[in-house]
Chain A
Amino acid sequence: MTPERYHRLGEIFNKALELPPGERVSYLKRACDGDADLLREVEALLANHSHSETFLSRPAIDVAAQLVPQKQTPFASGKQISHYRILSPIGAGGMGEVYLAEDIRLKRKVALKVLPASIGDDEERLRRFEQEAFAASSLNHPNILTIYEFAPDGEIHFLATEFVDGETVRSCLKRGPMSLGKSLDVSVQTTQALAAAHEAGIVHRDIKPENVMVRKDGLVKVLDFGLAKLVAPTPLDSEAQTRMQTLTQAGTILGTAAYMSPEQARGETVDARTDVFSLGVFLYEMISHRHPFMGQTISHTLVAIIEKDPPWLSQVVKGVPVELEQIVHRCLEKKTEDRYANASELLADLKRLQKNLEMGDQFTRPASPQQSSQEPTLIPQNKTNENIVQPTIISPQSSPAVTRRSRLFWLLPGLALVIIAGVAVWQWPHPAPVNPAANVTTALPERNLTYSLTVQRYRDGKPYQSPFSSSGREIFESGWRFRLNLTNSQDGFLYLINLERNGQYRLLFPLPSNNGGSAYIKAGEGLQTGWYEFDKQPGTEQFRLIWAAQSAPEFEQFRRLVNNTDKGLISKPEDIKTLTEFLQQHPASQIPVNEDSQNKQINVHGREAILVALLELEHR
């Protein structure tokens, strides 16, 4: 095989795949032009193609991991390790398997964490693990998981801790939003635990919903104390070695990147204020049921942590007391010196707030059985534009007026909101522009949009043959026309733009001629757009489908350009800038795109309020 022949083979192969199956045979005969060997090779390749769509679809590291010899097998119940008898597996943490076990001597239940062999082999890591276990066991606090023992039993290393009969905050959150009262209670208890640790000079460094458990009686237990220290950089290590160690826990990174502080994300030295930041993320998520920085990929998330301010809590949840919002956002300050210095400072504010709210609660409870009216409710994104303004930055403890306002707020939520909003609007005649749905959220229900193309060939300016369905993978000819068929299972607003060659954009939907000129599509109704024609200049056209839960002002404003003069062309530099920024904030979905090759349909789905699909259509 020569490169030239391989290239020829590839051309025919790809072209054949783009044809409807019925047309392939005649095409192959024509293309191979009597070269029987070539024909056989292409046919063999096509046969392999039909078997190879999943081939190499798992990344190599995944494939290689299958080859790793397995030293350790899960322990069956009844197996004894030292003086503990395994009862049942509980779960698995970043550091190993966790079992419910019974201490045979003391006749009590324990959680037994068995370290993976890969750690057991590494003496240095083991030594540090042990050291950290000791550090954590020196913390004697009701909100910190008690460590009983860390020991080897032959080749197995294990850690015996208090058994907590309850669930992690993560699993609470999976069931749905937590009430404000409960969120605050968990926050206070978690912060208490960290305050004790900070006083003892220990930084947790891995605060996240997975590491906080709530017992059935409501007592909170913070887990993995000090274990996180093992994987986090410490100033004592040589820089390089530390980096190696931080890298070894890529699994932890997957889980915890989202709770890192900016300084952690940059790989810098951390102190108590890192825990304060992570607590802020934790609080934000508990209260709003959405993560303040979550992006589509780890990189996006980390960029957001380092660079972006999260949306104000009041923008995403209704009914959050102003003080609570201020507390949370103070934890989330990018600069360490702008945050609370440690958990004790934060705790003081949280407790004060909790007390104030409880007082308000006592007044309202007999009068109003509608507990839910006091609970935060999610605000649909975008709607916040008109009536949400940034709250004043006044330290709650320094201003009795604010406290008073909060109590009023709590007693009369509706009225107070109107008053506060009124006052605030008066104070800020130009509220800072709110960026709708700038952050991907975990709270929104999954949205999806399915689309396919109907393509009409043209020859000599006339329709030629019947239209065919396409998922957009084919190569089209200039002058051909296509339209989009969409199906949607939720209400939404559709915008379609095309990137023009000179960096300008063109609004292709909504148009007056279609859907009554509206971007709104009702759930289940679907839509077929009008025809779009490929221009004469060959190349790859970039269309973006924007499927938004709410009307998107960024696009609505360009409807003024849909007229005979502008023809939807968005050409002003400031308009282009607006759109470019929008598209940067809402990159096209990459992972959650399903292609149904049989029906030529592509399904885009995700939990974002704004889903963006990129269609790249190549035409000659």
Chain B
Amino acid sequence: MSLSTTPNVTQLLVAWNNGDQEALSQLTPLVYRELHRLAHGYLRGEQRGHILQTTALINEAFVRLIDWQSIQWQNRAHFFGVAATLMRNILVQFAREQNAAKRGGQAIQVSLSEATAVKTRHNPDLVALDDALNTLEKLDPRQARIVELRFFAGLSLEEAAEVAQVSVSTVRRDWRMAQAWLHQQLSATT
């Protein structure tokens, strides 16, 4: 097996983390495929909100492609950290493309405040969220990081705590605050 010579997802992630944009273009289709698969599942009326999906995707990359008896937790944490940022990057880009595609053809939406609030809660606008996260990064980088880990990488409180190397109660407080603040930002702009 030529594990060392062929790029695998881990290496692609590392390369991308080091600024290699080509790696991103190789990783993006993987996430897009998963998106289509999920969307297809919704169409069939499968239950929504499988929190496992994102972690499954990332875990899968991790589990299959790393010689993981030799991997220490540090690397695992690092892996999830980079993967979370990657997911954010790709998913927000995807949302931008979809928004652009929708523009023009659609009728003007009448804004109803309650409808907007409910929509924000259940289907947050990923592009607006990304902007708000950028602001949050300047105010409290750790909170922004935890949002990436929880929302974009689908990690649990405990997993996020391990990756961010803080206590679970810290993650819980950060998450609670970030949730409230981001919700406020998104409700104000939509």
Contacts and interface: CB of A to CB of B under 8 A. Distances in A.
A56 B177 contact: no
B179 A265 contact: no
Interface stretch (A240-248, A286-294, A372-380, A477-485): A240-248
A3 B139 contact: yes
A614 B87 CA distance: 29
B39 A59 contact: no
A61 B33 contact: no
Interface string A251-272: 1011001000000011111000
Nearest to B187: A48
Given A58-B49, A246-B64, A52 B94 contact: no
A169 to B, nearest CB: 21
A394 interface: no
A44 B98 CA distance: 32
Given A61-B154, A250-B60, A67 B95 contact: yes
A70 interface: yes
A590 B155 CA distance: 10
A239 B2 contact: yes
B91 A69 contact: no
Interface string A531-542: 000000000100
A438 to B, nearest CB: 20
A66 B1 contact: no
Given A10-B177, A60-B126, A73-B43, A616 B168 contact: yes
A526 interface: no
B31 A55 contact: no
A56 B159 CA distance: 16
Contacts of A251: 37-38, 41
A308 interface: no
A473 interface: yes
Contacts of B103: none
A475 B173 CA distance: 11
Interface stretch (A76-84, A295-303, A424-432): A295-303
Contacts of B152: 59-60
Contact of B30 (A60, A69, A244): A244
A47 to B, nearest CB: 8
Contacts of B60: 247, 250, 253, 257, 298
A267 B140 contact: no
Contacts of B38: 61-62, 65, 68, 251
Contact of A62 (B49, B183, B184): B49
Contacts of A60: 54, 87-88, 91, 126, 151-152, 154
Q: Is the interface of B mostly helix, strand, loop or mixed?
A: helix
B34 interface: yes
Nearest to A91: B44
Nearest to B76: A299
B57 interface: yes
Contact of B180 (A46, A257, A302): A46
B78 interface: no
Contact of A55 (B3, B159, B182): B182
B126 A247 contact: no
A63 B126 contact: yes
B30 A51 contact: no
Interface string A82-116: 00000000001000010000000000000000001
Nearest to B175: A56
B53 A64 contact: no
A375 to B, nearest CB: 34
A247 B94 contact: no
Given A10-B177, A244-B29, A118 B63 contact: no
B126 A14 contact: no
Interface residues of A, number: 74
A291 B2 CA distance: 33
Interface string B1-22: 1110011110000000000000
A63 B6 contact: no
Interface string A352-393: 000000000000000000000000000000000000000000
> Which one of A45, A60, A257, A540 has the highest number of Cβ atoms from chain B below 10 Å of its Cβ?
A60
Interface in B114-161: 117, 120-124, 126, 138-140, 147, 150-154, 156, 158-159
Contacts of B168: 540, 616
A157 B99 CA distance: 29
> Which one of B7, B35, B154 has the highest number of Cβ atoms from chain A below 10 Å of its Cβ?
B35
A7 B173 CA distance: 12
Contacts of B176: 14, 17, 49
B39 A66 contact: yes
Interface in A112-166: 116-118
B158 A298 contact: no
B167 interface: yes
Contacts of A59: 51, 53-54, 151-154
B4 to A, nearest CB: 10
Contacts of B34: 61, 248, 250
Contacts of A247: 9, 30, 33, 57, 60-61, 64
A238 interface: yes
A605 B9 CA distance: 35
A550 B38 CA distance: 40
B169 interface: yes
A1 interface: yes
B43 A70 contact: yes
A236 B29 CA distance: 22
A58 B183 contact: no
A161 B33 CA distance: 26
Contact of A72 (B26, B33, B43, B122): B43
A61 B7 contact: no
A146 B159 CA distance: 46
A56 B124 contact: yes
Contacts of A92: 41, 44, 46
Given A6-B140, A49-B180, A591-B156, A61 B41 contact: no
B146 to A, nearest CB: 11
Contact of A618 (B56, B120, B151, B167): B167
Contact of B179 (A52, A69, A267, A540): A52
B79 to A, nearest CB: 12
A502 interface: no
A118 B36 contact: yes
Contact of B44 (A51, A57, A58, A97): A97
Nearest to B1: A268
B101 interface: yes
A13 B40 CA distance: 41
A545 B69 CA distance: 30
Given A246-B64, A299-B63, 20 more contacts: A2-B139, A3-B138, A17-B176, A52-B179, A58-B48, A59-B54, A60-B54, A60-B154, A62-B53, A68-B38, A74-B43, A116-B40, A247-B61, A247-B64, A250-B37, A250-B53, A250-B57, A298-B56, A302-B63, A540-B168
5 contacts: A53-B179, A65-B38, A240-B7, A268-B1, A297-B52
Interface of A: 1-3, 6-7, 10, 13-14, 17, 44-46, 48-49, 51-70, 72-74, 92, 97, 116-118, 238-240, 243-244, 246-251, 253-254, 257, 265-269, 297-299, 302, 473, 475, 540, 588, 590-591, 614, 616, 618
